[in-house]
Structures are given as structure tokens and as C-alpha cells.
């Protein structure tokens, strides 16, 4: 297994926020300069869904797909308070151009699809401004650490997507419209360049949090996570409860090949960290100097 060495290196000291700009190599600094950042202030927000909201979402989703199961939506409950320190998140998903620099600088293998397909060479997915796909969780976190950041925690991702208003979608509560808000439901049958759907951005300008590609989060996936300690505010939560390098990780946001039911910002999904596919990419976070607002 090509990543077996990383299983020992990672040791779950994952969030490399202590890396200073001066410590980054030249290529990492160049790549960092190409990333636009959006600041998220310190503060609390409502994470997840109420039982009524999850039931409504499931009922609506079943009208479109008989493959969706109730437990997928139950994992969003109960809704609870989360308090996060200030952070910055990349405006766009990491692109092929940015990831290509990483490969050249570090010698990391090129991305592969679920069955070993060379997505890196497929013209539907390899444009410079398209999000990189075919990356494992370990690939994505390695890139993030290379530039001195991290994958977003599940809570950071949802805060970026929902704001403090508990929006259903990144742009608001109105259902997505094809070719306006996001790339989904195989309308293009491939990824699209990042930032193409301005109407689908958050009010502070974060693009493509719905559709285009699923996005890796730092956390292990646990469907019952919200049920524990939901009566008190969780502070900067990060779920690495089992410390298992093979345990499924959280992915968020939906992708180009799924329907609108998967674009809701509270929806939690999973994928195995050593696997990769042409529907999963990532974005990155780093600490923010902003004070609470």
C-alpha cells in the first residue's frame, strides 16, 4: 500500500498550525500566495439539524432517490451549539495547478480515481482551474500541512457554509437551481472551474461549498457524534475518537454527480481515507488573527 509509511508518520499530530511562513519551502510559499482566504470570526453557531428539519429533508430526498436512507439524515441531529476560534478558509477548492506544484516539489504520487483511473490525465478533470480530484484524505492533509495549514474540521466547514444564520445552503434557504448555484446532478458530467457559480457562494464570498466536488474534512465520521454532549456548547470540536487511520473520514458538500438532496450544508457523508475518486477534492484552513465579533 503506497501510503503505509504515512500511517506511522501522521501519529495524529495532524493540525500543523505551528508552521511559520519562514519555515515553508520556496514552492510552498509560491503556492500559498495563490490561495485566497476568507476570514471567519470567533464565535458560536448552530450546527446540525433539528429532528423536524432532518425528517423534512429525508422525505424530500426520498422523492428523488430511493437509495437514500434515514440514518444518513439522523446523523445531522440533534442541532447543537458550537464555539469556534477565528480561522481562515480558502475561498476556492484547491485546484489542479496548485496541487501540481505540490507534486513537483514533494514527489508525491499523482492523483488516481477509485479503480486506479488516471484522473490526472483525463481532460474532463485536469484543467488548471478545476478542483483537484483523485486525492486520498492523506494526500489532502499532506498538501494542507505543506502550506502550513490543515483540512477544515467538520465544524469549521459547516460554519463556513451556514454562517451564523443556520442556512440550508451556502447561498441561503432557496433550493439550488441547475447551472446557477452549483455544479450537480450531472448537468456538466464533470467538474467545473472553481468559482464558476457566483450565485452559489456564501455572503462573504466562499465558493463551491455545494456541488462540484465533495470536500475532505479532518474528522473521523461518527453518525452518533452529535448525540453526545449535545446539551452543552462544544468548543473547537475535532473528532479523532478512535485514532484509527483506516476509519472513514467526513466529506461534505456534494459533488457534480449527485442530486440536490446532497447539497444541504448540514448533510454529513463519509469516505475511507486511503481511497480516492473523481468526485472528492478539498479546501484548506489556517488560523486567523481576527478577534471575536
Per residue in 144-168, pLDDT (tens digit) is 999 999 999 999 999 999 999 999 9
Query: Based on C-alpha coordinates, what's the Rg of the chain?
Result: 18
- pLDDT for 291 equals 46
- pLDDT for 234 equals 92
In which element (H, E) is residue 215 found? strand 214-220
- pLDDT for 19 equals 58
- pLDDT for 20 equals 64
Q: Which domains does the chain have, with CATH numbers?
A: 4-287 (3.90.1580.10)
Residue 107: partners with Cβ closer than 8 Å, 6 or more residues away: none
- pLDDT for 12 equals 39
Angle between helices 96-106 and 137-146 (to 10 degrees): 80
Sheet holding 80-84, edge to edge: 43-47, 80-84, 234-235
- pLDDT for 17 equals 53
- pLDDT for 228 equals 86
Where are the extended beta strands (E) located within 60-187? 80-84, 87-90
CA distance 234 to 48: 12
**pLDDT by 10-residue block (mean), the chain, 293 residues:** 39 48 85 97 97 94 81 96 98 98 96 84 95 97 97 99 97 92 96 98 98 98 89 90 87 96 96 96 90 45
User: Of 117, 81, 86, 102, whose CA–CA distance to 35 is shortest?
Assistant: 102
- pLDDT for 237 equals 95
- Coil/strand/helix, residue 223: coil
Residue 290 is given by DSSP the state P
- pLDDT for 76 equals 96
In which element (H, E) is residue 252 found? strand 249-252
- Coil/strand/helix, residue 81: strand
- pLDDT for 14 equals 45
Amino acid at each position: 500500500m503506497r501510503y503505509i509509511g504515512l500511517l506511522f508518520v501522521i501519529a495524529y499530530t495532524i493540525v500543523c498550525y505551528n508552521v511559520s511562513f519562514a519555515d515553508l519551502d520556496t514552492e510552498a510559499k509560491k503556492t500559498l500566495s495563490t490561495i485566497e482566504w476568507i476570514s471567519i470570526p470567533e464565535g458560536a453557531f448552530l450546527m446540525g439539524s433539528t429532528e423536524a428539519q432532518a425528517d423534512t429533508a429525508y422525505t424530500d430526498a426520498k422523492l428523488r432517490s430511493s437509495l437514500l436512507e434515514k440514518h444518513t439524515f439522523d446523523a445531522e441531529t440533534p442541532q447543537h451549539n458550537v464555539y469556534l476560534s477565528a480561522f481562515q478558509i480558502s475561498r476556492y477548492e484547491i485546484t489542479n495547478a496548485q496541487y501540481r506544484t505540490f507534486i513537483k516539489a514533494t514527489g508525491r504520487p499523482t492523483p488516481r480515481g477509485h479503480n486506479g483511473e488516471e484522473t490526472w490525465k483525463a481532460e474532463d478533470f485536469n484543467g488548471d482551474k478545476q478542483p483537484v480530484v483523485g486525492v486520498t484524505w492523506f494526500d489532502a492533509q499532506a498538501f494542507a500541512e505543506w502550506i502550513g495549514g490543515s483540512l477544515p474540521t467538520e465544524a469549521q466547514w459547516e460554519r463556513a457554509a451556514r454562517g451564523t444564520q443556520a442556512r440550508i445552503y451556502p447561498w441561503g434557504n432557496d433550493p439550488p437551481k441547475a447551472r446557477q448555484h452549483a455544479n450537480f446532478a450531472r448537468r456538466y458530467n464533470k467538474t467545473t472551474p472553481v468559482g464558476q457559480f457566483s450565485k452559489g457562494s456564501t455572503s462573504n464570498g466562499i465558493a463551491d461549498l455545494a456541488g462540484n466536488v465533495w470536500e475532505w474534512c479532518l474528522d473521523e465520521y461518527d453518525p452518533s457524534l452529535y448525540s453526545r454532549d449535545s446539551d452543552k456548547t462544544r468548543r473547537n470540536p475535532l473528532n479523532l475518537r478512535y485514532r484509527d487511520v483506516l476509519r472513514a473520514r467526513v466529506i461534505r458538500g456534494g459533488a457534480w454527480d449527485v442530486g440536490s438532496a446532497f447539497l444541504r450544508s448540514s448533510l454529513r457523508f463519509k469516505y475511507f481515507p486511503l481511497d480516492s475518486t473523481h468526485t472528492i477534492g478539498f479546501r484548506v484552513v489556517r488560523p486567523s488573527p481576527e478577534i471575536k465579533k
